[in-house]
Amino acid sequence: MTQNREAWGSRFGFVLAAAGSAVGLGNIWKFPYIAGENGGAAFIFIYLICIAIIGFPVLIAEILIGRTTKKNPVGAFAALTDSKLWVSVGFLGVIAGFMILSFYSVIGGWTIGYVVETMRGSLTHFATPDEAGILFGSLVGDIRWGIGFHSLFFALVMLIVIRGVKGGIERASKIMMPVLLSILVILIIRGVTLEGASKGLAFLWVPDWSKINGQSVLIALGHAFFTLSLGMGAMLTYGSYMSKRDNVVSSAALIVFLDTLIAIMAGVAIFTAVFASGLNPAAGPGLIFQTLPAVFSTMPGGDYFSFLFFLLLAIAALTSAISLLEVVVAYFVDEKGWSRKTAVLIFGGVIYLLGIPSALSFNLLADAKIFDKTFFDVVDFTASNVLLPFGGLMIAIFAGWIWSRTAVMTAVKAGAENLFEAYPWFEGLWFLFLKYVAPVLITLVLLKSLGIL
């Protein structure tokens, strides 16, 4: 079995695929709106610190667990410990993969739907964000539209994952990631050349510290996790296809760099345009689907930029969604001996079906609330705010306290000998963050999610 396990074609291929997982709706949809709601520059500063002190150390650990064991999250913990507790942590990761993908695909479907609506000319003639909001409401409120694009998005995800790690995921990432970066560059050039763009740039660079409080720090911390795809074994699974000759630390640094760069670039593209049109940067989750169409409506060439923007969003969502499905597929391939094809078709199918009530949460089931939340909200909240921080906490504790330090160091030094020789302080700092800083901070995030803080 092990000899035939799939692998990336190159380190570059791995970095692009992992960056593809990290760069998603989190970067282009969520990051700009939470930055907008929490005062811009000051929030971004806090977020960068969170990425550096918990995102980066935990990312290295997660990739390392995968690479060392060459297994999915369940198999990986089973290979490193005898304890059932850790195996169930891996199992929770697979469950989180099911859950996140099911609702992620619904929003992914909207992004494709918006590309299509732009082509039909229905997205760029708004006088106000409210008008765009009405169209948004009627699109997602339409059962056929919602389910239709969810199905299309999901079919694309399955089509890529079924072709395997190298021929499917890596190949798709090598095409889609450069396209994504090129589109962003075009949108930034458009944004900064608009009249009034400088107000948007000031919003991003000049901090307003009065907006920062305990809540915004916790939001930044939680987002650091989501945006790096941490806490459920996605990076672990991608790491399991990585060669022992490659450097885990510098690869992780590159993934963090690309993810952060793209979030900031999206922020620049979006806020220059929003401020140039005199609209509200703190519009919340509707910033992308409601404020931006109003922005594009006022912009020369708005149709083209709207098309490019939603294509960008769709690509970002797609490369993330494939990493979620891969976790589930790797589990059934490694542990149950299934073929990749069967695993993709059967469990892809199950996740697709699970997504249907999420898609219906915006129309048919909008009033079916559990604790005041729709089905979509319940799945999103449980996975993103509870399971991910919990998984991240456990990974930090595992690498910091359970796995022996000598074993961790042997594993991480493979392919990175020079780095640890050149920067001898790195080891101590990494363990400091893994053992103390990350567990304490993540626990705070978890307590906040559970309403205790």
* Contact residues: ligand TRP, CB under 6 A: 21-22, 24-27, 100, 226-227, 229, 232, 234, 320, 323-324, 388
DSSP string computed for 321-376: HHHHHHHHHHHHHHHH---HHHHHHHHHHHHHHHHHHHHHTTTTTTT--BTTB-HH
- CB of 174 vs ligand TRP, minimal distance in Å: 18
- CB of 277 vs ligand TRP, minimal distance in Å: 26
Report the half-sphere exposure of 32 (CA within 13 A, side-chain side).
32
Given the complex with ligand TRP, which of 173 and 297 has the nearer CB atom?
173
- Which residue has 């909001």 as its token pair? 133
Non-local (6+) Cβ contacts of 233 within 8 A are 62, 66, 72, 73, 76, 90, 93, 94, 97, 327, 391
3-state secondary structure string across 232-255: CCHHHHHHCCCCCCCCHHHHHHHH
- CB of 95 vs ligand TRP, minimal distance in Å: 12
Chain residue whose CB lies nearest ligand TRP: 26
- CB of 448 vs ligand TRP, minimal distance in Å: 18
- CB of 80 vs ligand TRP, minimal distance in Å: 21
Task: Using alpha carbons, select from 376, 439, 444 the residue that is nearest to residue 58.
Answer: 439
Given the complex with ligand TRP, which of 50 and 194 has the nearer CB atom?
50
Partners of residue 373 on adjacent β-strands: 370
Given the complex with ligand TRP, which of 234 and 329 has the nearer CB atom?
234
- CB of 27 vs ligand TRP, minimal distance in Å: 5
Given the complex with ligand TRP, which of 27 and 449 has the nearer CB atom?
27
- CB of 48 vs ligand TRP, minimal distance in Å: 16
Buried b / exposed e along 343-381 (16+ C-beta atoms within 10 A) = bbeebbeebbebbbbbbbbbbebeeeeeeeebbbbbbbe
Residue type, 86: W
